[in-house]
Amino acid sequence: MTELYPLIDGGRLVGVIGSGGDATLICSPSGQCRYFLWLNVERAIDITELLDNRGVLRIKGDKGEGFAPIGPWVMAPPYVHARVVVDLDEYARWLARLVGKEIRGRRVLLGFSGGKDSLATLLVLLKLQEYISFKLHIMYIHIPFLESPRNVRFVETVEEKLGVTIEFVEAPRREMKALLKWKGMPRRGYRFCTMYKAKPMRKVLKEDPRAVEVVGDRLTESPKRFERLYKAAAARLVLAGRKFRPTYMLTLLDIISLVRQSGLIHPAYLEGSPRVACDLCPYRVLYEFAELPELEDPRLIEKVFEKTWKKWYNWTSYEYFKEQHLWRFPAKVAKPIAYAKQLIGERSENERCEILSRENVVKSLRKLWLEESLDAPVVEEPWLVAEAAIRAWKRKMPLAMLENGAKHVGNN
């Protein structure tokens, strides 16, 4: 599951791109899509014609069947080519009219990761404070060993540049080290590390019954969030109980624009990553592992890799296990994926196949943060974005072009 990013060339939308698992999806504005399987960190092969009607790759060889759930990996809600926020002051005033009475004087708790959505949400909340008095409590939760120290440095830069105080919470180091040595690397379907992200937030909310939790999820960020949030959008809610969602109707262009204007772009985005997460997160796409930043304890991770391989993945070589970062998948899933890649690789040597390079993906995404104009129609009210996304979702279209109820304003 993924989020679709726009492919923009010279200010013109030419398609969308999304990556998940070991696959990348590229669609044209008309909705024609191609699917690519990453054979290694540098090269992906077009396997569109090999997928069944559910988007699953099944390919037979002498040793059985290779299998890869390409479609589910890159399933995404529609990308909405529109803007909600051009004037942050105006948007903050709109929010203040909706929730001013409810949150005035209360603690507003934001879990901050340093990623684009949490930063954009922070910027919106800081502007909202100019119109409503509330206590903003910002919390950053660090996962040692799996998360690079550069994430900590980035959060410190945000703290300094925006003049805010961010509470730093770290998962217990001894527990994390023990879990890694005992359970091996976290993998899809079993991320034992996530409990450390949620626990400190729950503690604050329990201690302060009047506290409001800010949820930075967006409608078009992933299929699960889309299905969870579109009903709230239909009801035109931004505050429900103790859950405050000030940015869930914003588009990806809004988020990128707010981050660009702040000058606080996480380096992971400039390296072509579609999200900020732990550097050893099992939900990272294979090409993202081409250039890992520094790890806190490389020797520990190497030992955990070795133990994980010996226990579950010794049906392949240790070198291939590390090259493919197979620890991301449960062993029973990783084996048919690896075999599918082997068969596709052999096939590509004998046939002329379209290749997608990591370099091209990184270049396309990097341009959004540094170069391209984010010109798009601007909606008259935020709820129109949800309506456009729902219409496109029902039609199974990857893009939602919004023209009705919008004005065209150029803005970076």
What's the confidence (pLDDT) of residue 257? 96
Residue 229 has pLDDT above 60, yes or no: yes
What's the confidence (pLDDT) of residue 408? 44
CA–CA gap between residue 26 and residue 29 (Å, rounded): 10
Domain membership of residue 146 (yes or no) is yes
Confidence of residue 175 (pLDDT cuts 50, 70, 90): very high
Domain membership of residue 142 (yes or no) is yes
Residue with the larger pLDDT of the pair 63 and 287: 287
pLDDT in tens, 59-91: 999 989 999 999 999 999 999 999 999 999 999
Tally of domains in the chain: 1
What's the confidence (pLDDT) of residue 236? 82
What's the confidence (pLDDT) of residue 5? 97
What's the confidence (pLDDT) of residue 131? 96
Domain membership of residue 141 (yes or no) is yes
Domain membership of residue 228 (yes or no) is yes
Q: What is the mean pLDDT of residues 205-227?
A: 89
What's the confidence (pLDDT) of residue 303? 96
What's the confidence (pLDDT) of residue 404? 53
Domain membership of residue 252 (yes or no) is yes
Q: What is the mean pLDDT of residues 18-35?
A: 95
Domain membership of residue 37 (yes or no) is no
Confidence of residue 381 (pLDDT cuts 50, 70, 90): confident
Least confident of 206-210, 280-284, 351-355, 370-374: 351-355
Residue 352 has pLDDT above 90, yes or no: no
Residue with the larger pLDDT of the pair 329 and 248: 329
CATH number for the domain spanning 229: value is 3.40.50.620
% of the chain residues with pLDDT over 90: 77
How high does pLDDT run on average in the chain?
92
What's the confidence (pLDDT) of residue 224? 81
What's the confidence (pLDDT) of residue 403? 57
Q: What is the mean pLDDT of residues 98-104?
A: 93
pLDDT in tens, 235-286: 788 998 999 999 988 999 999 999 999 999 999 999 999 999 899 999 999 9
- pTM exceeding 0.85: yes
Domain membership of residue 92 (yes or no) is yes
Domain membership of residue 327 (yes or no) is no
Confidence of residue 216 (pLDDT cuts 50, 70, 90): confident
Domain that holds residue 179: 88-272
Residue with the larger pLDDT of the pair 230 and 101: 101
Q: What is the mean pLDDT of residues 180-202?
A: 90
pLDDT in tens, 385-408: 888 888 898 888 999 977 554 554
Residue 410 has pLDDT above 50, yes or no: no
